[in-house]
Amino acid sequence: MRTADRATSETFGIASIALMRHAGQAVARFVECEYPQYSRVTVLCGRGNNGGDGFVAATALAAAGRDVIVLLLGNPEDLKGDAKTAFADMQLQPVLVPDEPALDSPQVRSILTSSDLLIDAVVGTGFQPPLRGLAAALRDCVKQLATPIVAVDLPSGWDADSRSFSCNGAFRADAVATFTAPKLAHVLGNLTSAVNGPIVVSSIGSPPEAVQSGLNLTWAGSSHAIVESGRAADSNKGMFGHVLVIGGGRGKSGAPAMASLAALRTGAGLVTAAVVPSVLPQVAAITPELMTSLLPEGPAGEVTGENLDYDELLDKKTVVALGPGLGQHPATERFLLEFLEKSQIPVVLDADALNILANHPEKLDGRGRTMVLTPHPGEMARLAGISTKEVQANRESLAREFAQRHQVTLLLKGWRTLVAHPTGAMAINTTGNPGMAKGGSGDILTGIVAAMIAQYPDQVADAVNAAAYIHGLAADIAVAGQDEHTLLATDTVSHLWRAFQFRPADPAGYVWLQGLPRRILEKPMEAR
């Protein structure tokens, strides 16, 4: 960020004080939009640039009619550069907190306890933990309060570059407003689970050319843009692909049914479920729009490829979703391997298909075709021949290396789902919630991924990134109207329409990395 800010000023001629003003105003807009009920706001300001952002935010909130108090840790004489300029422009009389004993004064205690909302602008991106001295003492005071806290850039005390799941000694936060681009701590590590509310990113004037990263990481939500333009008026079902869902051995009708339903709801023009005769009635009953095809059924109800006409099965199909409820019978294993040899159309592999292929790693070859794998950590462990613990300890590098080695797109599910691409690029998804930890969630995702590829065959990376984002977002919207304990996988499908309509780039000028806007949280029943 220091490099980006410097390039913005030196190369593109945008003064650093302008960036600070835009940042502070962005924080104020966020508070205005998401916390309109809180009239008494206290801004906790350090002496660096983070404090400068706080001075600007305080000025803007006061102009908007909020009752604003600024607590300055230290003395105004110690301010330098842009922070000093922002302080001079503030035209609010701050309450000075020059030392730790001052925190115990009746005035400061009264200010903290009577505030409706606190804004943490003590230290930001450039800070290296841990907090010490006055800042640490203020943190301990604030920790005792139930007052909501909006953090400027980061909760004071966090390392912006940290992937760690622990950061002892940082301020707590109920929301974070950061700037220009997300940092690692905003999408990975414990910060994202510690912040119960939203994390948003605001553009403050730095051109994209000024922002450089060598990590080859993107945010999956950026790919939501491919669904935002809508469809042409002369559209027909043939323009949006035909998804074939293959699975459904005896006793496993739910998985292919859910995958098929999700594919239809995600926008595929046509969906056909290929299952064995014994489960056909249950699968067909999921929705009348679903077409069906019969697969040979063995004596144990298993899927087989015996006497199967592959040309007929694959005729005019655009994408195959292979695995939901498939089973792992030896005859089914032979069918799967034969299928991959006979078909070169895009394929999304999940569930039992992954477990079978773990024993045939030579078949995991995406060269010359689109091959997408959607493992959970246990399935990934079997594919990679390591333990689940090792997968979880090394998710990023493992996913990237596996995708490049096998030339596949790997969607590694879990908290902060990763989408690794054959090119080495990787996207991080920030939607979803613990309510999705139930049977059926993976089948829904498989259907969404297949339908997105069917509609955007020339944009596979964006299609899979967007699928992961939309799936988690639909679940977040569903939970806004109920409870994580009660969420079913099919509830997510019924909220997909709202996830498609959602715009991560808010009209107020910020992008939602995590959480939902007040306009959705206050009207959850609209999603039903």
Residue where a domain terminates, one of 213, 228, 262 = 213
- One domain, residues 166 and 258: no
Mean pLDDT by 10 residues, the chain (528 residues): 91 96 98 96 97 98 98 97 97 96 96 98 89 95 95 93 73 95 85 82 94 91 96 96 96 97 98 98 98 97 96 97 97 97 96 97 95 98 97 95 98 96 97 95 98 98 98 96 94 96 92 92 57
CB hemisphere CA count around 455 (13 angstroms): 28
Query: Is residue 10 classed exposed, middle or buried when 0-12, 13-18 and 19+ CB atoms within 10 A define those classes?
Result: exposed
Q: Assess if residue 218 is contained within a domain.
A: no
Q: Give me the helices (H) in 48-183, please.
A: 49-63, 81-90, 106-114, 133-143
Going by their DSSP bridges, the two strands 418-420 and 199-202 should be labelled as unpaired
**3-state SS assignment for residue 368:** coil
Residues 6+ apart with CB under 8 A from 296: 276, 303, 304, 305, 306, 307, 308
- One domain, residues 135 and 209: yes
Please state, in angstroms and rounded to a whole number, the distance separating the CA atoms of residues 194 and 190.
6
Measured in degrees and rounded to the nearest 5, phi and psi for residue 146 equal -100, 5
> What is the span of the domain harbouring residue 408?
238-527
Q: Assess if residue 352 is contained within a domain.
A: yes
- One domain, residues 288 and 199: no
**3-state SS assignment for residue 377:** helix
Total tally of structural domains belonging to the chain:
2
Q: Assess if residue 228 is contained within a domain.
A: no
- One domain, residues 189 and 278: no
Q: Assess if residue 226 is contained within a domain.
A: no
**Predicted pLDDT of residue 526:** 47
- One domain, residues 167 and 293: no
**3-state SS assignment for residue 442:** helix
| 389 residue type, one letter | K
- One domain, residues 259 and 200: no
485: which 2 tokens? 């304990």
State the Cα angle at 494 between 490 and 495, rounded to 5°. 115
| 487 residue type, one letter | L
- One domain, residues 308 and 412: yes
| 184 residue type, one letter | L
- One domain, residues 317 and 400: yes
Domain at 413, CATH number? 3.40.1190.20
Q: What helix, strand, coil percent values describe the chain, rounded to 5?
A: 45, 15, 40
Residue where a domain terminates, one of 213, 247, 268 = 213
Q: In what order do the strands lie in the sheet with 149-152?
A: 95-97, 67-73, 40-45, 117-121, 149-152, 175-179, 199-202, 510-514
Measured in degrees and rounded to the nearest 5, phi and psi for residue 301 equal 85, 10
Residue with tokens 């983070």: 50
Please state, in angstroms and rounded to a whole number, the distance separating the CA atoms of residues 465 and 474.
14
- One domain, residues 24 and 131: yes
Q: Classify each residue of 270-289 as buried b or exposed e, where b means 16 or more C-beta atoms within 10 Å of its C-beta.
A: bbbbbbbeebbebbbebeee
**Predicted pLDDT of residue 193:** 66
Domain at 74, CATH number? 3.40.50.10260
Query: Is residue 129 classed exposed, middle or buried when 0-12, 13-18 and 19+ CB atoms within 10 A define those classes?
Result: middle
- One domain, residues 259 and 161: no
**Predicted pLDDT of residue 1:** 86
**Predicted pLDDT of residue 169:** 84
Q: Assess if residue 219 is contained within a domain.
A: no
Q: Assess if residue 224 is contained within a domain.
A: no
Give kind and range of the element (H or E) at residue 25: helix 16-34
- One domain, residues 243 and 194: no
- List Cα–Cα distances, 427 to 110, 138, 265, 412, 467, in angstroms: 46, 37, 24, 11, 12
Give kind and range of the element (H or E) at residue 510: strand 510-514
Please state, in angstroms and rounded to a whole number, the distance separating the CA atoms of residues 395 and 418.
8
Q: Assess if residue 205 is contained within a domain.
A: yes
Please state, in angstroms and rounded to a whole number, the distance separating the CA atoms of residues 241 and 237.
7
- One domain, residues 328 and 280: yes
Number of Cβ atoms within 10 Å of the Cβ of 338: 13
Q: Assess if residue 343 is contained within a domain.
A: yes
